[in-house]
Amino acid sequence: MAEKNNILVLFAHPVMHKSKTNSALLESIEGIEGITTHNLYEQYPDFHIDIKSEQSLLAGHDIIVWQHPFYWYSSPAIIKEWIDLVLEHGFAYGRKGKALAGKAIFNAITTGGRKEAYSEGGYNNFTINQLLMPFKQTASLCSMDYLPPFVVHGTHLLNPQEMKDIADDYKKILISLRDGIFSREELYGLQYLNDILKMNKNK
């Protein structure tokens, strides 16, 4: 039996009360054993991030999730602040910075744009995966495994049942990652993590 992974969800949304989709995603994983949710804006409303506390949290988890809305093809500001301060030289990278080596990390994002808008030649000119390259390179520098993103498109168009289904998928994927159901090799070739559930249904 595969050893269970501890998952840390670093959540960031500056106006949480306006996000039904992110609320649904968070509610779906609340209280699940082995999954820790950490609301950065709630924890650090003044942006005074406790670097040592955050590094300790990272050390105690095997899989890290940056969950956030896809603001201007990136993340809300506090995630950039978190990366700048927490992933410091000597801890996350550099000759002696091996604290995160071998851990997995990925983005779980929500966006109002449809999937076809994020394509080469589409409305936004680039795919989601291309636009997330700075996060992938950050993971690479820290010797972490960057997994494909979990993506929710067209958030403004979702009806309550669709939103529930997506939240259930998020829960299933995180539980499967916790339990080591999927090998990382299975995941690397996916466009989105969401696709792993479709693949398993077709087996």
For 132-156, the pLDDT digits (tens) are: 999 999 999 999 999 999 999 999 9
Answer yes or no: is pLDDT of 202 > 60: no
197 located within any domain? yes
User: What CA–CA distances, in Å, run from 1 to 4, 6, 95, 179?
Assistant: 9, 16, 34, 9
87 located within any domain? yes
**For tokens 């500001």, what's the residue?**
77
Residue 27 CB: number of other CB atoms within 10 A? 12
Closest CA to 51 of 92, 17, 82, 20: 82
- What is the pLDDT, as a whole number, of residue 200? 64
- What is the pLDDT, as a whole number, of residue 2? 63
Apex CA 150: angle with CA 175 and CA 64, to 5°?
60
Mean pLDDT of the 77-105 span: 97
- What is the pLDDT, as a whole number, of residue 16? 80
Mean pLDDT of the 100-115 span: 96
Which H/E stretch holds residue 69?
strand 63-69
Which H/E stretch holds residue 84?
helix 77-86
2 located within any domain? no
What's the mean pLDDT when you consider all of the chain? 94
- What is the pLDDT, as a whole number, of residue 186? 87
- Asked whether the beta carbons of 65 and 108 are under 8 A apart, the reply is yes
CA 134 to chain centre: 14
**Structural domain tally of the chain?**
1
Mean pLDDT of the 40-56 span: 97
- Asked whether the beta carbons of 11 and 38 are under 8 A apart, the reply is yes
pLDDT digits (tens, 9 = 90+) for 161-194: 999 999 999 999 999 999 999 888 889 889 999 9
List the domain range (segments joined by +) for residue 26: 7-201
1 located within any domain? no
Answer yes or no: is pLDDT of 50 > 70: yes
Percent of the chain at pLDDT exceeding 90: 87
Q: What radius of gyration, in Å, describes the C-alpha atoms of the chain?
A: 16
CATH number of the domain at 80, please: 3.40.50.360
- What is the pLDDT, as a whole number, of residue 197? 86
CA 191 to chain centre: 14
